Amino acid sequence: MLEMMLCSLLTILPDYLYRRYVQGKRIGKEITLYSVWFELRWGITSCVILTICLITVIFYNHPSTSNVTLFFRTIPIVSETIGRVSEVYVDVSGPVAKNAPIFKLDSSKQEAALETARRKIVEADADRKQTQDELDTKLDLQRRNPGNVAPRDIEKLQTRLEGNLAAKATAEASLAEAQVALDKTIIRAEVNGRVEQFALRPGDLVNPMMRPAGVLIPEGAGQRVLFAGFGQIEGQIMRRGLVAEVTCVSKPWTIIPMVVTQVQDFIAAGQFRGGEQLIDAQQITKPGTLLVYLEPLYEGGLDGVTPGSSCIANAYSNNHDIIAAKETGFVKGIVLHAVDALGLVHALILRLQALIIPFQHLVFSGH
């Protein structure tokens, strides 16, 4: 609509002024509702063509998209073993600190294995002490009377003592393994964050092969980068450093200055994994988008935007370097200046969208 109004000032309005004041035709007489097309056909046709060209230039050089989301990362809360929950240390929703326990599995089996390993260490110590005493006695008798003790008996005791030491080392390793297995029955938070919709309760069976026990949202997740999907035709325009603006549903009536920090080199819709079937291009029914990373131009720009919120984004071309280059001609410079200036139209459209978002979602959505 804004483009049509702007183009009409250069086409329909001059056409009307010419027919009204040069040709002397009057509204309601020669120019009526029924004859308006014939009388203003050149102005209307020129306005439509110019509007289409203007919209094409604006949307190509200043791309816009509503496929913008403040994605946030989640960490699955998964136990390493199958077990039944015996204790839960957090509520359905709440913050958790790093290394804080979240829930505990039944550990009777691990505790029994730990106690068995301890007893084996005690047995190994007792056997070693007994063997050491026998060896000390044999060595003492040999010192007093070398002929009373056979060297073979001493060698057997020494070999048995080494075996006892090896048995103790094995028991200690089993103890450490049992302790690790026992520690794994308590599932802890790996980072500072928050658990949400954590419905796990004592008695539930947890199986890491089937589904996670819940999700942990890391602290600060979804507060740094917006992910925007622009049309594939914008691949030649989008680049790092472009200035952008967004408005989000969770923070209406607010325009947030952004900057393009990264443009993904691949379109996700074209990916495939090797298998036993060939890929048919017709299977891709919906074209993919060009993924662009947007970060706030100023610190704290995304404060107040709920992670996961949907947004609308505009990116604006910047041809200053090309215009300032010595090899750029005068006419080309004027055209590029005009292209950059047309970003104002898109900026106005974005502000109108930010203005009507609350009414669109609260009044006209039908909810």
What pLDDT does residue 315 have?
92
Tell me whether residue 212 is in a domain. yes
228: confidence class by pLDDT, cuts 50, 70, 90: very high
Q: How many structural domains are present in the chain?
A: 4
Tell me whether residue 99 is in a domain. yes
Asked if 23 and 51 sit in the same domain, the reply is: yes
Asked if 45 and 180 sit in the same domain, the reply is: no
3: confidence class by pLDDT, cuts 50, 70, 90: low
Asked if 303 and 354 sit in the same domain, the reply is: yes
Q: What percent of the chain has pLDDT over 90?
A: 19
Asked if 1 and 92 sit in the same domain, the reply is: no
Of the candidates 270, 207, 224, 261, which has an alpha carbon nearest to the alpha carbon of residue 239?
Answer: 261
Asked if 203 and 231 sit in the same domain, the reply is: no
Q: Looking at 165-179, 213-227, 303-317, which range is the least confident one? A: 213-227
In this predicted model, what pLDDT tens digit does every residue of 100-148 receive, in sequence order? 999 999 989 889 999 998 999 888 888 888 888 887 887 777 777 776 7
pTM: 0.71
Residue 245's domain is classified under what CATH number?
2.40.30.170
Helix (H) / strand (E) containing 322: helix 320-324
The per-residue DSSP string of 103-114 comes to EEE--HHHHHHH
User: Which of 160, 184, 208 corresponds to the end of one domain?
Assistant: 184
In this predicted model, what pLDDT tens digit does every residue of 71-108 receive, in sequence order? 888 888 888 888 899 999 998 888 999 999 999 999 89
Taking residues 204-231, report their average pLDDT: 84
Tell me whether residue 277 is in a domain. no
Asked if 85 and 215 sit in the same domain, the reply is: yes
Asked if 137 and 126 sit in the same domain, the reply is: yes
Asked if 77 and 51 sit in the same domain, the reply is: no
> What percent of the chain is helix, strand and coil (3-state, nearest 5)?
45, 20, 35
**CA 258 to each of CA 115, 249, 338: distance values in angstroms, whole numbers, following the listed order:** 60, 16, 23
Domain of 100, in residue numbers: 73-105+185-220
pLDDT at 367 over 60: no
In this predicted model, what pLDDT tens digit does every residue of 44-58 receive, in sequence order? 788 788 888 878 887
Tell me whether residue 279 is in a domain. no
10: confidence class by pLDDT, cuts 50, 70, 90: low
**CA 257 to each of CA 246, 254, 337, 353: distance values in angstroms, whole numbers, following the listed order:** 7, 10, 21, 15
What pLDDT does residue 26 have?
76
**Collapsed DSSP state (helix, strand, coil) of residue 88:** strand
